[in-house]
Amino acid sequence: MSLLPFLKRKDTAPVHHATTGAVADFLAGYSIEVMPRTAEKVEDFRALLPKGTRVYIANIEFPIEDMVATAKRLRDEGYEPMPHFPARIIKDKAMLADWLARYQGEAGVTQGLIIAGNPAAQLGDFDSSMQLLETGLFDKAGFTRLHIAGHPEGNKDIDPDGSDKNVMDALRWKQKFSETTDAKMALATQFCFEAGPVIEWVNALNAAGVDLPIHIGVAGPAKLQTLIKFAMACGVGPSLRVLQKRALDVTKLVMPYEPNDFVTELALHKTNNPDFGIEQVHFFPLGGIKTNAEWAIANGGERARPANQA
């Protein structure tokens, strides 16, 4: 049963304070995602994000020069860049080695999100994130943190029949791989809108012997139409019904979506179950980085430092 209806009662001030603390703790150390073209629109990340924030750099077939330049800028402004490595757009081991050398040599990158990428875009030897990991090049390059993709609502590109068999087999393989690498590993997930299925998924992973830390994907505040568009494009599953239900409510149709309920329910579950596998929040700033950063601050996240105090 959801706790949220009770949290809204006027006679529950002590619970409200406890909830505020739980959400603040849950948001601590959050990460966020940018693309080179969206980063160009940000005058100074230090005015928006806490120093040291991990910033993923999404690679949707951007030139490597743009990716490395974005990573260097983030490093120079005091952040930890984590570029995407989509297997299907990397032609061969030589290209991967070149990317790793450029990221390290020019931007000091030691972290990466290793993903398969768009199945229709395979350009060379690699078809999966596992094949990239098997090259051994990330370990050889001294990468200290490797994140892999998680899919709380399944992935029809991997399991066309709607099951989770292939996804779970891959996660078991990655769990074993995590025991052979010196790099810290974690699951960074697709964004979702409903806490209950996420909790069930995390518990199912643990029952299957997969205990990699989870960085749960959260869609930042955005217009409802924008969220529905991205959710459908990214293959968000049953939790899309949360947005569809909201779209039917004319009193909420013009109001931007905010992830308050989703984050609060997960935060309270984490407080009541300290060993619960979600370690951090990872934001997809679909309504803009500034809007997302302001929401995080308003809900207890750390404030950014003025640039002259960085």
Over the stretch 234-248, which tens digit does the pLDDT of each residue have? 666 655 666 666 555
Q: How many CA atoms lie within 13 A of 151 on its CB side?
A: 24
What's the predicted TM-score (pTM) here? 0.86
What is the dotted CATH code of the domain comprising 22-309?
3.20.20.220
pLDDT of 243 reads 64
Where are the domains positioned within the chain?
22-309
pLDDT > 90 fraction of the chain, expressed in percent and rounded: 66
Over the stretch 200-244, which tens digit does the pLDDT of each residue have? 999 999 999 999 999 999 999 988 777 777 666 666 665 566 666
